[in-house]
Each structure stands twice: as C-alpha cells, then as structure tokens.
Amino acid sequence: MSGIFKAISRQRSAVDVAGAGREAITTQFSKGRLDTCGVYGHLSPNEENLLADLWERILDDFDKPLDSIEGDPIARPVESDDDLERKKAKEVQESSPFEVVEGCMFNQSVAEKCKELGIVSECGADGELVPKFETQLPDNTLKSVFWSVVREDHPDVLILRFLRARKWDLEKSYKMAIAAIKWRIQEHVEEIVWYGDTANDASLMWKGVSYAHGKDRLGQPIIWSGSCLHHQKDQSYPQLKRYLIWMMETLRQLLAPPIERVCLIMDLTDHSNANMDWPFVKTFLKFLEAYYPECLGICIVYNGPWWFSGVWKLISPLLDPVVASKVQFAQKPEGLLKFIDEKELLEKRGGKDAYNYEYVKPHPEENKLMFDKEGRAASAEKLRLLQDQFVQATTDWVNAKEGGDDDGFAAAARRRVELSDQVKAAASDLDKYTRARHFYNRTGVLQGNVVDWTKVQSHS
C-alpha cells in the first residue's frame, strides 16, 4: 500500500462519517447542488490513483476461480431455507389458495397471472413470455462474473461504490466487492434479471408496494414505498427477497453519472403494527449496506405514527452509520417539499403530480429478442471483444501509473473513457437478449438508456 494511500485512509477514517453525512445531505438540498465527491467523472488525482490501485488488485485475480478469492463473509440477515419456504408456499397455493389483491392469489407469479388472463407469447412453445433461463457466464472466473455484475454500468462506477463505502481503504473495498459478487451468484441475480417482473409475486406488482416515480431536487429518482400496502403473510420470504433484488437491479437502469443514488420515501401513512415485517427490514438494510453500497442518496421517513420513534430506536442500531446519516423525517407535505419540487411530488402527498400507480402488464411479444439465440450470441461476442479492449487499456493505465508515466497515464485514461462508452452501448444491446422488459419499459419511462418521467406524469 502506498504512503499516499495510507495518509488518505487515516485522514478519512478520522472523519465523523455519520455527522458529516447528515450535514452534507441537508446542505445539498438547501443549495440545490449534488455532492459529486468521489463520483465517476469527478475524482481528485488521489482518488483516481486509488481507483487504479484497486483495478490493479482486481486484474491480478481476474483469471482465478471466484471461489479461490478471499472476500468478506457473506452475511445472511435472515436465516431461511429458501427451498423449504418455496415448497411450503406452493403447498398453500395448491391446497388452501386465497386471494391477496385484485384476483391475484397467494404465491401466484405475474407470468401465471398473465397466462390466466390470456396473455401468452407466440414465441414460447407453451406460450411463455420469457424463454427458459440460460446463463451467460462462460466459466466461474472473477473476470466472467465481474462483467455479469457490471452489465450496463460503467465498470468504474461499480468499483467506486465499494471504495467510497469503505472510505477508500483498498483491502476492505476489495473484500467487500468480492463478497457482493459471490452473493450475487448465491442469490441467482442473473436469473432474476433474466425473468424480470414476470417471475415476481403478482400481488406485489399489482399493489405497487414500492415503485419509482419522478425525481427529487437533486435529480435522484424517487422510490415510493407505502408500508400500509405490505403484509408479511401475503407472500413468502423468498418471493419478497426476489422482488427486492429485482427492484434494486431495475433501479440501476434509472441511474447514470453523476446521478448514482436514489431518494427513498418510506411512506408510513396509515401504517399499523400489522404492516411491520422484521425479516424484510433486516434484509433490505443488509442489501443497502453490503451488496448495493452507495445507492441511497436520502431516505425520508414520512408521516410516521406517534409510536414510530420507539421502532426507530430498534432499527437505527442495525444501520450502517453512513446509511443512518441519510435518514430524514417529515410529518407534513411541507417537509417533503424541502427535498422534492411540487411538480415532482405526488398530488396525494401535497404536490402537483396527479400520478397514481397502476401496474402495466407484459405485452405478449415484448421479449421476442430473448428467443433469438443467434442474435444473443453475436451481441455477446461483440461485447466481449470490447471488454477485452477495455481491460487492456486499463492494464496500460495501471502500468503507466506504476511507472510514473504521467503522459501515458492520461492517454490511457482517455482511451478507457472512449472504450467504456462503447462497452456500455454494447451491453445495452445485449440487455435486450438477456433481460425481460419490465414495468418501466412498458410505461415509456425507460427507453434504451434514456429516462423520461414526463411519460407518466400528470400535473394538476
């Protein structure tokens, strides 16, 4: 570890992260200026050097089997035998079926509900909307799995999340990243992305327990999460966990530098004890802290009941200090308006956007390209060649840094930026073959890499 890295690490470790974070959050919104410190495209020379150091560590292990690389322990916030829980849910579905909401039965997936409604694809042999999952991983090396995690992101954006989360400590950042990558394999994230919302619990999608809509004053997508719509008994834990992972993966598509975080509104209007779900709370908090770091810009707890302060005392110790520093409270619309312009705030919460969530069901042929194996293979090969070029440019960049070649370092850095744009475009093309279209595609909010909330906003 270089002397400069040690100095920066000591300096940042001495900061009261929680206190500084809380002040920074309120300051950003009061000034209307996004804090881009440590964000891709806004790195200091020292931060760029640390990024190169971490890339050097990654490339050293790139061709090794993932299982042979040491990472942080993979924490399981809830001890659950998912296979057993799925079996139990299936037994209930078959022996004692009950309706959860609007004709959606317990443990019924969106795909099953669509088939019941006559929404079937001509591409599928049995009318299935999405073909059977096929992994795109050629092997179990870090290289292969790493690129499956990056998907349409810029690779530096992903790596910088772990560096910021571990306060630029190289070893801690690397072990955290390896653990997150291994966790994705264990949780079958690639498969979750493949099937998209068609494999989600239908009642969760029909109710709109959580959904993205609009942006806050800093440009961050707003995630509305209405606790009164959630009941633990309405779905199995594995299905709830799947929904949460799908949501997190989908939200990644709504982000682009310098907007790398979201605004989460925990709407506690009409909340009661019946809506509390500790397994869900613990799972969500662990995902934010360990597996999707630096994705939360601010969390606004809105309109909590008088007794919620007691619940908060139980929750707050479970939070990472950085996450805790981003939590704000608002009891009235005036509190929300500090963070969200009235044109972006829902009318039912005191704003002027008359939008009301309604799930848009899949179109029968929206995933037609996923059935095209030849097209998928050609797209994958194009992406692989560009990824190899990016890795070579990154190797040149790292070597130039180590050799003290400032001109070579700058030239390689420019080459990396050019290639990263090409990699992102190629990955977006492959995405059409490996990710089922979802709610935000159907509403028109997400088209390619363009996010446009005006497609669904209705101002009063």
Q: What is the largest CA-CA distance in the chain?
A: 70
> How buried is 138 (Cβ within 10 angstroms: 0-12 exposed, 13-18 middle, 19+ buried)?
exposed
Packing angle of the helix pair 406-434, 373-402 (nearest 10 deg): 160
CB 424 within 8 A of CB 416: no
CB 322 within 8 A of CB 18: yes
Q: What's the confidence (pLDDT) of residue 404? A: 95
CB 129 within 8 A of CB 436: yes
Q: What's the confidence (pLDDT) of residue 2? A: 39
Q: What's the confidence (pLDDT) of residue 9? A: 39
Q: What's the confidence (pLDDT) of residue 214? A: 97
Residue 361 in 3-state DSSP? coil
Looking at residue 287, the DSSP 8-state letter turns out to be I
Helices (H), 61-128: 82-95, 110-116
> How buried is 364 (Cβ within 10 angstroms: 0-12 exposed, 13-18 middle, 19+ buried)?
middle
Residue 44 in 3-state DSSP? coil
Q: What's the confidence (pLDDT) of residue 322? A: 80
Does this model's pTM top 0.75? My answer is: yes
Q: What's the confidence (pLDDT) of residue 315? A: 78
Per-residue pLDDT of the chain (460 residues; tens, 9 = 90+): 333 333 333 333 433 333 344 457 888 999 999 999 999 999 999 999 999 999 999 999 999 999 999 999 987 777 778 889 899 989 989 999 999 998 999 999 999 999 999 999 999 999 999 999 999 999 999 999 999 999 999 999 999 999 999 999 999 999 999 999 999 999 999 999 999 999 999 999 999 999 999 999 999 999 999 999 999 899 999 999 999 999 999 999 999 999 999 999 999 999 887 887 878 888 888 898 899 999 999 999 999 887 777 777 877 887 778 888 888 999 999 999 999 999 999 999 999 999 999 999 999 999 999 999 999 999 999 999 999 999 999 999 999 999 999 999 999 999 999 999 999 999 999 999 999 999 999 999 999 999 999 999 988 6
233-239-241 Cα angle (round to 5): 105
What token pair was written down for 150?
A: 């990056």
Looking at residue 345, the DSSP 8-state letter turns out to be S
CB 120 within 8 A of CB 127: yes
Around 102, how many Cα atoms within 13 Å sit in the side-chain half-sphere? 12
Return d(Cα 390, Cα 384) in angstroms, integer: 10
Q: What's the confidence (pLDDT) of residue 23? A: 52
Nearest residue to 224 (alpha-carbon basis) of 167, 169, 124, 300: 300
